[in-house]
Chain A
């Protein structure tokens, strides 16, 4: 169940107010369904999930959630354009084989896409490699090189550039410090230096 190993409840606290009542939500890598269940209870959403692990799927079924057991990319292909109000992918894009394809598919099936990921631009990560000469770690990247599930490494700035190059509209950027959403008054550079996680709400232009 590596896909939600790193998921903070804080992501869930931040996302909940962003989601409109009675909307239709697809959570990619939904784990045991905690976020979807919260959104069903708090926002009366219509919930769908995709989860790779059998145990995760069983927990979701216990919660009354409808989920697909499989890879994220196969979990998306059948859906028609704009079939969801939100497609959510928490702390997962960095572990999928082809994040560009997944994000493009999310943007296709969802009116809005919410993505969060560990920020490899955090100053501790930068210091780690620069001064210690070892693969860096931080609160949200606690792994060794040989056991990390993160096969893609990106920073908040990387993600902004990615959106720019693919003509993706950034509706909102939410840098997260420790476990809280935080505004970095000194601007975008500081977010990329001090945020442990980046969260973006994006859509097709």
Chain B
């Protein structure tokens, strides 16, 4: 695909904010509680003239609204899905109006446990309500309405982003023209719940956690770092760990040190991941969001998953990765099965990759061309109508 010189996308992007709800008109949550004020951080790529071709990108657990571009020309690190966003790329900024929103409960601009509670003037901390994936979607709906978007051409995301995508398609069938859930599942099975619970326990048992009220003090950095290290292992695969680290030592010139200092490269890598995460993520957000993922069961309240999809009108592209054991391909197939029982137009692809769950942030070439093919034909179908 040729890279066009784009008039409306410089690659320099800005984070924006939208605030809604009030004491008289609070935002209602599934747990029964309410929020009197909700702010969403979001970014937009592409031109508003393409608003009838809106793509809503959903981020994963540790992601944020910064999916593409850079904040300044000097900015070293572009958005987390920048390889997919831009002129001539899969999410073509010349053709589409692309939105990415930080979920509520998060800590990168949207209202979360670290935000100031307008009623008290202090951070929510322990008083922040527990959320669900549906709450996150319902908050997004407010912003989507505010932006003047009626129907969304594609809702797309990996991992938790895939859950948000599925929830959108199931709850707002008239507004979602197509959905691309990637490396995801229709529910958290016991295994991801188990891993996330170990992570949560690491945070909760960190003495600095203090019941969630730590914003003016030391943060539970150790607990959060351990939580991240555990989770990160589940995003890799046996093969990718072997390829990247095997049993290699940090200093190959040395023999075993017989100490608990960092010796193996994999140890060093995990420590780095843990520390890097602590610098950009809030422990309470981690608790709230992982719990929302654990609560996620698309079929909850329905007879079964097929019934959940009974109103679905979107065209689907479901993508899994062969070595993903966090959300294995069979869980994607369950989604496909339930969709097909409703005669939904669905394509399923299992991309062969050794990168485990993280493949959706790595396999840009395969993923990009698959999604481009899907989007190009979608456009044709819509213009035919």
Contact = CB atoms under 8 A, between A and B. Distances in A.
A74 B333 contact: yes
Contacts of A60: 347
A70 interface: yes
A57 B349 contact: yes
A78 B348 CA distance: 14
A65 B315 CA distance: 11
Nearest to B346: A66
Interface string A140-180: 00000000000000000000000000000000000000000
Contacts of A62: 373, 376-377
Contacts of B317: 61
A58 B346 contact: no
Nearest to B378: A64
Given A58-B369, A78-B340, A78-B341, A67 B352 contact: no
A32 to B, nearest CB: 12
A66 B347 contact: yes
Contacts, number: 57
A79 interface: yes
Nearest to A83: B343
What band does the interface of chain A fall in when counting residues whose beta carbon is under 8 Å from B? Answer: 20 to 34
Contacts of B376: 62
A69 B340 contact: no
Interface string A50-83: 0000100110111111111110001001111001
Interface in B330-363: 333, 336-337, 340-341, 343, 345-352
B352 A54 contact: yes
Contacts of A57: 347-349, 370
Given A54-B351, A61-B317, A68 B336 contact: yes
Closest 7 A-B residue pairs measured CB to CB?
A: A64-B377, A62-B373, A61-B373, A78-B340, A78-B337, A66-B347, A57-B349
Interface of A: 54, 57-58, 60-70, 74, 77-80, 83
Interface of B: 315, 317, 333, 336-337, 340-341, 343, 345-352, 366, 369-370, 373-374, 376-377, 380-381
